Amino acid sequence: MVCVLAAWFYTGGSRPYGYLGLGEVMVFVFFGLVAVIGTTYVQTETFELLALYAAVGIGALACAILVVNNLRDIPTDTIAGKRTLAVVLGDERTRYLYAFLVGAAAVAVVAVAAASTWWCLLGLVFVLRLLPALRTVLGGATGLGLIPVLQQTGIGQLIWAVPVAVPLIVLNLGG
């Protein structure tokens, strides 16, 4: 129920937090930490450090999608008075934030692998999918030029998740 309320108040209510520069924080918390750690807890009834590492990776990429969307919308959000994190940070720093989030997701793959099985390092293949997106973002693309980055980042998140999850599932089935 808390997740549903969080989704509603992102753009709903009298003071939507998505327009107060808190969207990325909430996406990280609810689409990363709550989703992954919460799901793990429901299934195992324990807190797993491994789940935290995975949550950071998934949450970072979920935030990266929002960062690109808000980067694209800086001009219109500024005019409309929406103070997204991208509006607050400005164009250049928002582009670096995107790169940081992709890097954080890569570090999270290594952390998951170190805490479980090195087979999870196959998850690093997501970086190959996001290299064109990184070039586009860091190259200064604007407006419609950022639309493909949304898709590339979403696919990158899926490519992160599958090769990380499958070895963990196999490891758990064998244990």
pLDDT digit string, tens, across residues 64-78: 999 999 999 999 999
Dist. CA 151–CA 62, nearest whole Å: 12
Please state the domain extents for the chain.
Answer: 2-168
> What is the average pLDDT score of the chain?
93
Kindly list the distances between the CA atom of residue 166 and the CA atoms of 29, 91, 121, 123, in Å, as whole numbers in the listed order: 24, 37, 11, 10
Dist. CA 77–CA 19, nearest whole Å: 9
**Predicted model pTM:** 0.93
Residue with tokens 């992954």: 36
pLDDT digit string, tens, across residues 127-155: 999 999 999 999 999 999 999 999 999 99
Are 75 and 91 spatial neighbours (Cβ–Cβ below 8 Å)?
no
Q: What is the mean pLDDT of each run of 10 residues along the chain (175 residues)?
A: 80 81 92 93 92 98 97 96 95 98 98 96 97 98 97 98 94 69
